[in-house]
């Protein structure tokens, strides 16, 4: 397994644990994104890795969101055009969803924007009461969840609840996420969550890998096709990110403290101030 700057990986009896460590708030910078993509690509067909578990070195954040400063960079001239290929971020999320081995996420802290889109693409998510929080803050920024959120969340929690998460731009707590089906289980402490997830991961590694892969593939066959919806999401995102309103809102978020630790810890409130 390669060495990374913002991720730590450890392999134990077929369980690969990928620990995100990008202070001050685990914002998904370009570097962190590329490292996650590299991990996903390398383990997808690695026969030694039987289960992948994503967690965080920071108890307050899994992944805050995608780096807003990257979104503020100059955009291509001319109107947005529909793309034929999926974006690299969509490809990362699809790798997490479709690789022939289970992907589990320990969501002990906040997870927002592209971070939640990535976590939602994985097979199972587990949280902690009073600590796990999800926030899709894109609409307050004048854009939309462009990393699969508009496609992933309605299938995960239902249309109405997805609308509340996406259009409300507010913090959603662990108990609500569990009731809505976003989290598999919630626990009283991070230690209890970690113990359960580690035991489940090791239990799965004890089963024939061909059966695990085939069972996952068969479950995925129950889902409608994804590609058309993901490409249309990209087209709409590309339209919005060019607007003066979006660029002003994203800069306003930075000015209010987005991407600082204190600002990220109050993201629901901050999004309402934009």
Which CATH number do you get for residue 22?
3.90.226.10
Domain assignment present for 193: no
pLDDT of residue 38: 97
Domain assignment present for 27: yes
Within 10 angstroms of residue 172's Cβ, the number of other Cβ atoms is: 22
* Structural domains in the chain (count): 1
Domain assignment present for 134: yes
2 pLDDT tier (thresholds 50, 70, 90): confident
pLDDT in tens, 222-252: 999 999 999 999 999 999 999 999 999 999 9
The range of the structural domain enclosing residue 31 comes to: 7-187+218-273
- Measured CA to CA, the distance from residue 128 to residue 108 in angstroms comes to 6
CB 18 within 8 A of CB 54: yes
Domain assignment present for 55: yes
Task: Look up residue 127 and give its two tokens.
Answer: 């949280």
The percentage of residues in the chain with a pLDDT greater than 90, rounded to a whole number, is: 96
pLDDT of residue 119: 98
76 pLDDT tier (thresholds 50, 70, 90): confident
Looking at the predicted structure, is the pLDDT value of residue 24 above 80? yes
Dihedral sign, Cα of residue 94, residue 147, residue 126, residue 64: positive
- Measured CA to CA, the distance from residue 44 to residue 24 in angstroms comes to 29
Looking at the predicted structure, is the pLDDT value of residue 156 above 90? yes
- Measured CA to CA, the distance from residue 89 to residue 99 in angstroms comes to 15
Total residue count of the chain as it appears in this document: 274
Sheet holding 172-173, edge to edge: 61-63, 110-112, 133-135, 172-173
Within 10 angstroms of residue 249's Cβ, the number of other Cβ atoms is: 19
CB 98 within 8 A of CB 220: yes
- Measured CA to CA, the distance from residue 253 to residue 83 in angstroms comes to 29
Domain assignment present for 202: no
Domain assignment present for 203: no
pLDDT of residue 77: 81
Domain assignment present for 238: yes
Task: Look up residue 17 and give its two tokens.
Answer: 């644990």
Round the average pLDDT of the chain to a whole number and report it.
97
77: left (phi over 0), alpha (psi -120 to 50) or beta: beta
pLDDT of residue 160: 98
Domain assignment present for 209: no
Task: Look up residue 231 and give its two tokens.
Answer: 């490409």
Buried b (16+ CB within 10 A) or exposed e, 27-65: bbbeebbebbeebbeebbeeeebbbbbbbbebebbbbbb
């Amino acid at each position: 397994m390669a060495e990374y700057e913002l991720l730590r990986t450890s392999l134990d009896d077929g369980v690969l644990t990928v620990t995100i460590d990008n202070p001050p708030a685990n914002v998904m910078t370009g570097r962190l994104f590329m490292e996650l993509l590299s991990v996903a690509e390398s383990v997808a067909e690695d026969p030694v890795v039987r289960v992948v578990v994503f967690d965080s070195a920071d108890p307050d954040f899994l992944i805050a969101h995608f780096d807003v400063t990257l979104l503020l960079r100059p955009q291509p001239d001319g109107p947005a055009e529909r793309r034929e290929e999926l974006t690299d971020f969509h490809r990362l999320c699809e790798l997490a969803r479709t690789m022939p081995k289970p992907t589990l996420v320990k969501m002990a802290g906040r997870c927002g924007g592209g971070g939640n889109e990535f976590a939602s693409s994985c097979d199972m998510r587990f949280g902690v009461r009073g600590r796990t929080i999800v926030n899709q803050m894109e609409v307050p920024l004048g854009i939309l969840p462009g990393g699969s959120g508009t496609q992933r969340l309605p299938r995960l929690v239902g249309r109405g609840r997805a609308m509340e998460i996406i259009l409300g731009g507010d913090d959603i707590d662990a108990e609500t996420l569990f009731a809505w089906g976003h989290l598999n289980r919630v626990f009283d402490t991070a230690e209890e969550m970690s113990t359960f997830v580690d035991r489940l991961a090791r239990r799965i590694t004890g089963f024939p890998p061909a059966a695990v892969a085939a069972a996952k593939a068969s479950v995925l066959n129950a889902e409608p096709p994804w590609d058309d919806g993901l490409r249309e999401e990209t087209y709409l995102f590309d339209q919005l990110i060019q607007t003066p309103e979006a660029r002003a809102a994203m800069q306003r978020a930075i000015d209010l403290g987005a991407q600082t630790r204190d600002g990220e810890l109050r993201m629901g409130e901050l999004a309402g101030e934009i």
